[in-house]
Amino acid sequence: MHSTPKHLRSNLTAFLMIAPLLILLAIFVIWPLVYAFYLSGYETYYNRPAEFVGLDFYKFVLTDPLFWSALWVGLKYSLLVVPTILVLSLLLASFIKTLSGKMAAILKTTVYVPAVVSVVLTGLVFVFMYQDSGVVNAFVGMFGIEPVAWLNNDSTVLAAISVPGIWLGFGISTLIMLAALLDIPESYYEAASLEGANWFQRTWYITIPMLKNVFLYLLVTGFTLAMQEYLIPLIMTNGGPVNATTTTNLFIFNQFRDTSAFAFTYSITAALILFVVLGLLSLLIFKAIKSDKAVDG
């Protein structure tokens, strides 16, 4: 009984410590979502009051083949970018770990550079690289291959715009992976080596299981960011050719720029549906790699 006031004070202190975070969360996350859902129920006009239409716009979006096409493009883009980043980051982080202090510092600084480069600048640079006289066609020309219209061919364009996406996300993922690798005790690898395990076996049975939490984090954040990508396709192809690179967010952005009366509500509704899709995708990733075991170690 005498411990009750102390317990209450402890709870109050804990609440006061997290109150600023809860307030910011309510202002910048919860309230915008609630208000967006409210707006999705109204058809907005420029010259007269908004009209309540209920869930009509959800039906419009969910029956629009262009929306589903954009969602599929975003998923394909994510599947090209995220797994590639994870594999390359693990390989480079493993290599950096073997280097001396000075060389490791130089390489860590170098790989971090893409993280601070503008997406717009990156997109423009890669557009020039993919031109007929660009460095990419100059390279393939060394093998007797004719110049390829990388950004005008629907069979190559998605892979082409995935490369700058990989380049932009590669650096920070490598550093996160490296930090996790350095936390793995060397004694594990030494014991495995004494048992005759080669590099692949040490990586498969020690490194990857020990990095499960990191893989989970990078998978969820990577897919969430990649599915929301719109700047790279906007700058490099403007969604073309024939919507081959129109990702979901670019589709929503184009709808928002439309001058029709229902464009505003349509874009909000599509964005809310994308929010739900990303939430479900994150849950699937957690379930697929058994996140409960990952978190418990």
How do residues 103-120 score in pLDDT, each as one tens digit? 888 998 999 998 889 999
Confidence of residue 4 (pLDDT cuts 50, 70, 90): low
The closest of 241, 205, 234, 228 to 274, measured between CA atoms, is: 228
What CA–CA distance (Å, rounded) separates 125 from 164? 9
What CA–CA distance (Å, rounded) separates 71 from 267? 14
The 3-state DSSP class for residue 154 equals coil
Confidence of residue 6 (pLDDT cuts 50, 70, 90): low
Q: What is the mean pLDDT of residues 123-142?
A: 93
The pLDDT, as a whole number, for residue 50 is 78
pLDDT tops 80 at residue 11? no
| Residue 232, both tokens | 């790279």
**265: Cβ contacts below 8 Å, ≥ 6 apart:** 39, 40, 42, 43, 44, 53, 57
The 3-state DSSP class for residue 40 equals coil
DSSP-assigned letter for residue 46: S
Mean pLDDT value across the chain: 88
pLDDT tops 70 at residue 45? no
The neighbouring-strand residues paired with 52 are 42
Q: pLDDT digit string (tens) for 211-222? A: 988 998 999 999
**243: Cβ contacts below 8 Å, ≥ 6 apart:** 66, 69, 70, 73
What CA–CA distance (Å, rounded) separates 22 from 26? 6
Confidence of residue 294 (pLDDT cuts 50, 70, 90): very low
Amino acid at 87: V
What CATH superfamily classification does 65-296 receive? Answer: MetI-like (1.10.3720.10)
Q: Between 293 and 47, where is the model more confident?
A: 47
Amino acid at 80: L
Which residue carries 């990952």 as its tokens?
294
Amino acid at 126: F
Q: Is the peptide bond prior to 5 cis by the omega test (within 30 degrees of 0)?
A: no
pLDDT tops 80 at residue 242? yes
What CA–CA distance (Å, rounded) separates 256 from 28? 21
Q: What is the mean pLDDT of residues 234-257?
A: 92
The pLDDT, as a whole number, for residue 46 is 62
